[in-house]
Chain A
Amino acid sequence: MSEELRQSLEARLPALLGGPVQISKLSRLAGGASMEAWALEVRAPSGPFSLVLRRAAGGRIYQDALSLEHEHALVAEAHRSGVKVPRPYGFLPDLLGHDAFLMDRLRGETVGRRIVRLPELARARAALPAQMAEELARIHALDPARLPFLPGTGAGSPARRAIEGLVAQLDSVGEPHPAIELGIGWLRENLRDTGPAAVVHGDFRIGNLVVGPDGLVGVLDWEFARVGDALEDVAWPLVKAWRFGVDRLRLGGISDERAMIDRYVEITGRKVDPRDLHAYELLGNVRWAVGSLQQAQRHLRGEEKSVELAILGRLACEVEHEILQLLEAP
């Protein structure tokens, strides 16, 4: 596989990097569920490049995930607008049968368990809350009109759309989950739009951020971006599943959320009502509970056989428990 891929890339990279190229290294990185990732070292006339190739693999995790072509266009727009993202080098349709795109490889740590624990990242953990707020503010300032392919661009309430989207996804799983139903019922009563619809990243959390010794290096994994309520992104990194075992630090196991929220309010001028933040944290937990069940379904339906996907079906009850906790403490 990798020799075939190398030849195919050597034929197509000159158009993107300007001139003849030589790939000195090509290795598969541990990929996500629906995506392959490859690390490349490339020599080109304009210099050496350390790159990552993202390439489609199996099916999609959520119905609303962006195609690689749209994800590339979004990352390019974010890059132009000064969001910290890997610099994109171009979309490669049909690279040996699957779409792919090429971007810079950022140096740093992405594994959540390490980010919350490594002593050498203590300085990064102190800087991250404000830095996360700054990137969120930049993302939420992107112009949805320039990104017409994003889901959720229609009229109507983003909060309603978020809830009804999750109901449809839960129904597609086809299992009864009373705890999730309770959460959805509460959200129908309490989740409200908190401002004009904005471009939201959709998976902004520890684990999808590249972290170096000084903190945030880049924001990865844009495939769940959509137009929605900005608080969806602000509350998502608080979801307990993304604290990597350091539960008392509500912001991703690295800090309490105060520093991030204060900085976000300061830059954007948006008000963040604690009751709304609570409601959107509950929405995030419902989203992850449903997402876990959907991923297990991929294994059960044979779309992608994987012990790692299968186990998520049984860990969803952790998220259900958290939903019940949040319902008791409004």
Chain B
Amino acid sequence: MPDRPTALELLEAVRGFLETEVAKGATDPRLRFRALVAANALSIAGRELIADEASSSAEARLLRELLGEAPSGAPPAQEALALSSELCRRIRAGTAPRDTPGAIRRIVEGKLAAASPRYLERKR
């Protein structure tokens, strides 16, 4: 599960920027037009994204295995959120499973692959 803002929320933030700041402030009508087109492109990408649940599924599976939980049947993003909250609770209580650091590392690397792929390359 990615942190917030989610991909959709990021797209929405940039779309708002293009529509309100770039398009409204543009004196060049062509720039204004292209900004609106770009905003629309982000709307399309946003709609496609809603279908893409692969990364949440992977995270939910990792957390299920770590915590020894059965699949909850909830949508992957929701399941990952619930399991991640449970893991946080156990870490605070001092009852996290032994493999916790390794699992968290894989989850964080998954987040980096989406949010900042160059960060991991820089490490190497």
Chain A residues within 8 Å of B, Cβ to Cβ? 175-179, 181-182, 184-185, 245, 247, 293, 296-297, 299-300, 305-307, 310-311, 313-318, 320-321, 324, 327-328
Contact = CB atoms under 8 A, between A and B. Distances in A.
Contact of A313 (B5, B14, B16): B5
B84 A182 contact: no
A151 B101 CA distance: 34
A306 B5 CA distance: 12
Contact of A310 (B13, B104, B107): B13
B13 A299 contact: yes
Given A310-B10, A311-B10, A318-B116, A299 B108 contact: no
B79 to A, nearest CB: 12
Contacts of A313: 3-5
Given A176-B85, A182-B91, A327-B101, A317 B10 contact: no
B47 interface: no
B9 interface: yes
B88 A315 contact: no
A239 B4 CA distance: 23
B90 to A, nearest CB: 9
25 contacts: A176-B81, A176-B88, A178-B104, A178-B107, A179-B104, A181-B91, A182-B100, A182-B101, A185-B91, A245-B122, A297-B4, A299-B5, A299-B13, A310-B5, A311-B5, A314-B10, A316-B3, A317-B111, A317-B112, A317-B116, A318-B115, A320-B108, A321-B109, A324-B104, A327-B101
A296 B6 CA distance: 11
A299 B105 CA distance: 27
Contacts of A307: 13-14, 17
B35 interface: no
B119 interface: yes
A324 B112 contact: no
A313 B84 CA distance: 17
A293 B88 CA distance: 16
Interface in B70-102: 81, 84-85, 87-88, 91-92, 94, 100-101
Contacts of B2: 314
A252 to B, nearest CB: 17
Contacts of A184: 92
Nearest to B93: A185
Contacts of A182: 91, 100-101, 104
Contacts of A300: 4-5, 9
A176 B16 CA distance: 27
A317 B59 CA distance: 14
A310 B9 contact: yes
A88 B3 CA distance: 41
B72 to A, nearest CB: 15
Given A175-B3, A247-B122, A300-B9, 15 more contacts: A176-B81, A176-B84, A176-B88, A181-B91, A185-B92, A185-B94, A299-B13, A306-B13, A307-B13, A307-B17, A310-B5, A311-B5, A313-B4, A317-B116, A320-B111
Nearest to B107: A178
B88 A178 contact: yes
B3 A178 contact: no
B92 A176 contact: no
Nearest to B7: A314
A315 B115 contact: yes
Nearest to B18: A307
Given A176-B84, A181-B91, A324 B108 contact: yes
A40 B122 CA distance: 41
A293 B9 contact: no
Contacts of B109: 321
A127 B87 CA distance: 46
Given A305-B16, A324-B108, A177 B4 contact: no
A277 B77 CA distance: 38
A240 B2 CA distance: 22
Interface string B14-26: 1011000000000
Given A311-B10, A314-B10, A296 B4 contact: yes
A189 B113 CA distance: 31
